[in-house]
Amino acid sequence: MKRGIYILVFFVFLMIIVISFVSGGFFGKLKKTITGYATSQPENVSITVAGTSQITMVIFNQSLTGTAVDPTENATTYITLYVVINDSDGVSDINDSGVSANVTFGSTIRRNNTCALVGDLDTQRANYSCRIDMWYFDAPETWTINVRANDLGNTSYVVNTSSFKYNQLQAIVISPSSLTFPSVAIGATNQTSNNDPTVVNNTGNYNVTNGNVRVSAIDLYGQTAASERIYAGNFSSHVITGSNAECAGTYLVNGTATGVSIANITRGNHSANNGVIGQEELYYCLTRVPSDISSQTYSTSTAGSWTISIA
């Protein structure tokens, strides 16, 4: 009987010990030790607080050297604007991808939407560069510069303006460089060229008005009998062809720049190659072959080439 009581007491004592271990997390710790499973993980937390102060900016157009910009014939000319942006909340608050610039005249816009960060000037100011390409045919006028930027906290854009002068450029390129006629008979009339028109491309930004595309013709001397010649006044030029229309054009004058009636070239991208935009076409006619000359070749090799010019 006493032995049974001892066994019962021992069993109760054992149960108390087991319960205390369970309530103390012994088995949980034991399980973690055995399985390797974590029951907790660390987590890092960070927050960027953007300032609310609005930026200010200054446009420095040192690349314009304080004077007007000269176009580059038949190509682009780039200008570089430097913009200093100030943010009292610190340079890290400036939106680097939000800096853009454009230049405008009338409805024409040349732009750069990705101005580049040059570097920080101090803790609040950063310097940006904006390259903008101007075309040779862009208007010779005063252009307006617009720069816009914002920051990460105050997302409202700030716009600043300046200006620069784009100079005028008078320039042309002609093609072909040689004018030819088919074989003609002595005394013949209204003989037209076989390789015209002379295409006159405006490679600058000057508007050539009516009558200011000029041809300075030179008498053609015989290459065998040098005393014989075809006078420049026997030739005419026109911007119209077909049905010998060029033979009713403007008569040329020896050694004199003569404006061809209604010939003009407005500025524009002549690569359109349509005879209209930035381009003019000149056609030629030998209105009368003199009857007192001999059969031979007559050319400009003696007295000099004809010249195409604008005014």
We find that the CATH architecture of domain 56-165 is Sandwich (2.60)
Q: Work out the pLDDT band at 30, boundaries 50, 70, 90.
A: very low
Tokens of 244: 């010998």
DSSP string, 63-106: GGTTSPBPP-TTSEEEEEEEEEEE-TT-GGGB-GGG-EEEEEET
User: Tens digit of pLDDT for each residue in 147-197?
Assistant: 999 999 888 899 988 889 999 999 999 999 999 999 999 999 999 999 999
The pLDDT of residue 292: 96
Integer Cα distance of 63 and 81 in angstroms: 7
Tokens of 46: 């960070």
Q: Work out the pLDDT band at 63, boundaries 50, 70, 90.
A: low
- Pick the range with the lowest mean pLDDT from 28-42, 79-93, 275-289: 28-42
* CA nearest to 88, candidates 127, 120, 125, 126: 125
Residue 41 has pLDDT above 60, yes or no: yes
Answer for the pair 197, 273: CB distance below 8 angstroms, yes or no.
no
> What is the mean predicted confidence (pLDDT) over 280-284?
98
Q: The whole model's pTM is what?
A: 0.79
| Those residues with Cβ within 8 angstroms of residue 103's Cβ, 6 or more apart along the chain or in another chain | 79, 109, 110, 111, 132, 134, 143, 144, 145, 146, 164
Mean pLDDT of the chain: 88
Cβ burial, residue 105 (10 Å; 0-12/13-18/19+) = middle
Tokens of 288: 């009368």
The angle at the Cα of 78, spanning 73 to 79, to the nearest 5 degrees, equals: 130
The pLDDT of residue 57: 81
> What is the mean predicted confidence (pLDDT) over 110-130?
95
User: Tens digit of pLDDT for each residue in 239-272?
Assistant: 999 999 999 999 999 999 999 999 999 999 999 9
pLDDT greater at residue 67 or residue 23: 67
Answer for the pair 171, 204: CB distance below 8 angstroms, yes or no.
yes
